[in-house]
Structure 1
Amino acid sequence: MLVVPMLSEALAVIDHQVLGWHLAGPRLVFQIGSTARRPCCPRCHNSRVRRHGHYQRHPSDLPSFGTPVTLDVEVRRWRCMAPGCGGHTFSDSMGSFVQPRSRYSVRSRVALEHLGCTSGGQAGARLSWSLGLRAGADTILRAVHALPPPAIGEPLVVGIDDWALARGHHYGTIFVDLQQHRPLDLIAGREMTEVRDWLAQHPGIRVVARDRAGAYGQATRQALRERTAIPP
């Protein structure tokens, strides 16, 4: 067993270890194997399993001193021999270190998410290559799109305006948090009742900057009687 600081400790948590390493062109490749002798079936939790083959995975990990790192992981396949399980087959799990079917370790994917959120797709891709992560713009944007939406607290100052679903035919309404400078919601309409109902659902709003449309003014007066409406 080879001990690699920061990598061996993370792999030990999921019952894996570093078996060796080599250089493959510009990449540093670590051979990874499981230390678990015989896993339990994830379906019936029985330990009566038989080896059913193996395959290789090659996820990318965080770079080492700017050198791209690839993990050459041998994944064992197993067949459950317990009666009633139907010969269910399964593979070794890498737990929280590498998600199923992912080409990146969890920690390298987190790094790509940060690059995407701060730099965007193309700029983030250029930066990832200089850092040794080597990801494309599409990969970075997919990582960002997979993130859960940020928690939005109760807004205090809201802007209201209309937007065109089909110019001259159908319009909606956009609500923006003017303190956080981010959209809050879109509704497919600009009728007074629709806007009034939305505002009534957010009792924390104290100031509304709105379009001069009469429907917005009436909705604001009805929903926010004790609050402030500011026309543009």
Structure 2
Amino acid sequence: MRLVGVESRGRTISFAAMTTAPVAACPVCGTSSDRVHSRYERRLADRAVGGREVSIRLRVKRFRCMNHECGRKIFAEPAVGVAARYQRRSRVLTRLLISIGLALGGRAGHRMTGHIAAQVSRSTLLRLVRELPVPEPSRVPVVGIDDFAIRKGNVYGTVFVDMATNKPVDLLEDRTSETVAEWMRHHPEIRVVCRDRGGP
């Protein structure tokens, strides 16, 4: 990517940039192509600078797929390291918003984004958090077990927490002793279990 120009207008700083890769791979078949079909401009929001919003106007090439058997005839080159496909914000800003969503949740996170010149709705923050991949259950020797309400008064699940890091390890769909016993049979590395005095 090459920076072409910078423009400051009011509360916004706008960067004009363009991609420089001579070839790109088709996202469907993986065939490399150097035949440029056309160009278009992507507008991306980025992290604020000095309390001012940042916008990136990125000129991107469209290539023709050289594989005649591929269903994708024309594809846009990816903005590698800058933004994911179809996204309207940079990877850096997305990571910042995810951190805010994880730390503060929807309403408080929405208020915080207004202070960092990157305001998004509470539903956007929650959607970014929900889109995170679920980590694989880790192996821990000391776990805490408790129930949590999926639907208060009706449906409860079980949460396992790593007592060393205070992070969730796994979630179960119910809170019966049979389900917990089955889960523990598959985790022989557990040495200590911390639990409340709940009946199940």
Unaligned runs of 5+ in 1: 1-15, 217-232
| 2:57 equivalent to 1:72 | yes
1:2-151 alignment runs, 5 A limit: 16-36=1-21, 38-42=22-26, 43=29, 45-47=31-33, 49=35, 51-81=36-66, 88-150=73-135
Secondary structure of the residue aligned to 2:56 is strand
Cα-Cα RMSD: 3.2
Segments of 4+ moved more than 6 angstroms: 162-166
Query: How far has the Cα of 1:134 moved from its partner?
Result: 2.2
- Percent identity for Structure 1 against Structure 2: 23
Q: Give the direction of change, closer, same or farther, for the CA distance of 1:22–1:59 in structure 2 (3 Å limit).
A: same
Deviation track 1:112-151 (CA, whole Å, cap 9, x = no partner) reads 1111122222222222221122222222222222223356
Note if contact 2:82-2:91 (Cα within 8 Å) is conserved in structure 1.
yes
More helix by share: 1
Question: Equivalent of 2:171, from 185, 191, 202?
Answer: 185
Deviation track 1:27-67 (CA, whole Å, cap 9, x = no partner) reads 1111111223x314434634452x32222211111111111
Give distance in 1, aligned partners of 2:55 and 2:150.
48
Secondary structure of the residue aligned to 1:59 is strand
Q: Give the direction of change, closer, same or farther, for the CA distance of 1:160–1:83 in structure 2 (3 Å limit).
A: closer
Secondary structure of the residue aligned to 1:139 is helix
Q: Counterpart of 2:108 in structure 1: which amino acid? A: A
> Which protein has greater RCO, CA pairs closer than 8 Å, 6+ apart?
2
Give distance in 2, aligned partners of 1:98 and 1:78.
18
Give distance in 2, aligned partners of 1:77 and 1:59.
18
Of structures 1 and 2, the larger Rg is shown by 1
The corresponding residue for 1:159 is 145
Unaligned runs of 5+ in 2: none
